[in-house]
Amino acid sequence: MTFYASFDEKVQADVGGGEVRFRTRVDDQKRKGQFVFREGFPESVFQIDKQNGVSGGSLSCTDVIPHRGRIFFPAKQNLAYQSNGWGGAVSLWVNINPDQQLKTPYCDPIQITHKGAHDGGIWIDFPNENPRGLR
């Protein structure tokens, strides 16, 4: 295992070969098509819910980060990447009523990508459909 984030007690990964704390990416308001990257995350939006995890806490998201913001773990040394090909597995638990709780047309709880969704990215999402099933 190269990376593990239980969110049982902290808003950070438990195990990682690289950075284990979230960073935030938002649209740059001065340069169209560019992003601003920051250390940390909006603590008012992401917290540990001690009552609703599988065997401990869970990551709770209470709002949307402005300017198409996203939190992320840097992939460097957290994914077992090899230039001649790579593989792996992702496991997650999502407990949400997307029709009532999501505030945006699309929501990607997980994205694994070099630069963007159309750059060899792997993701799961709640599409803008009714009902909103996880795909």
pLDDT tens figures, 76-126: 999 887 888 777 888 888 999 999 999 999 899 888 887 766 777 888 999
The answer to whether residues 101 and 64 belong to one domain is no
User: Residue 57 is part of which domain span?
Assistant: 1-85
Residue holding tokens 């704390």? Answer: 21
Q: For the chain, how many structural domains are there in total?
A: 2
The answer to whether residues 62 and 98 belong to one domain is no
pLDDT tens figures, 3-25: 999 999 999 999 999 999 999 99
